Structure 1
Amino acid sequence: MNTDQYGRTLWQAYTNEGINPNSNPIGYRYDWGYDAGGYPTLNQMLVPKYIDSENKIPTADTDWFDEITRTGFIQQYNVSVTNGTERGTYFFSLGYYKNDGLIKYSNFDRISARMNSEYKLIGDMLTIGENFTLNRTTEVQAPANVLSDA
């Protein structure tokens, strides 16, 4: 919400609870009353020039949600090779995954590799093989509560 929308929502919340909206701790001031039907009516809203008691932080009309978010983007690439004979099989794969998150500067990257093979030494009596997996990930997480704070 912008400054005006937030102020109007704050006024509505206070009047819905039966509380004087001018008692809010943020500094919004309201000229309001009741209409002929007894419903609260907002005549005018006064937004404070500063939002702190030291008068150092001016009021701004910043959309903080827009400032901290972006359109997310995901890329994923995979390639694999497999082959086999009656005596053995093998499988090899590589993968890359990148997620640029909805919160600016957050992201996740993963590079992965996998190799499996199997070889029959003595018919169906003795088979040897291996399964290897390797992953490397990096991540930049969004700060806790960043969306609710915005």
Structure 2
Amino acid sequence: MRIETRLKRSAAYGIGKQMADAVYVHIQYEHVLPQGPLTKAKKLLPKKFVYNIVKYNQSEKKISFIYSPDFDKANEPLVGPYVVVHFDGTVRQYPNKRSEPMVYHHKWLMVGEDYTGFSIEKAKKRSADTYDLHVNKYKIGYKSYWDGVLRRNSLPK
């Protein structure tokens, strides 16, 4: 059964979670992003840095390489350590030692229909089930806040 949701993948790239001027894609789909800036940025990554999500932001002239340790397993995967490479060559690494973990919502937007790491249809259903929940848009990305929203609405983590 195909799940319909109001959410759509990036119109500019065909794949990706579009948020304002930034688009998030799984590493398997980084080929849809502009290759010039991506290739240059990847050359500047610290050796041995592992990532599975790429955030491309043309207007801010930067690309972030992010590791999400539970991307395929969690409904709302964690945001882990990341590296930001600015188009001018500036590189900043963030070990993600936040006191409050952050999560991604609607992860299926970051991948194509052919992705096999998790069930796209189950992820779309999760989006449909959680899309209209009353949330504080400034806190929705915080894991503890999101866990509370799920608990109040009797939804599984």
TM bucket, shorter chain: under 0.3
Higher strand share: 1
Instruction: Report the structure, 1 or 2, having the larger helix content.
Output: 2
Select the structure of larger CA radius of gyration. 1
If the length of structure 1 is used for normalisation, what is the TM-score? Answer: 0.21
Q: TM-score, normalised by structure 2?
A: 0.20
Higher relative contact order (CA 8 A, sep 6+): 2
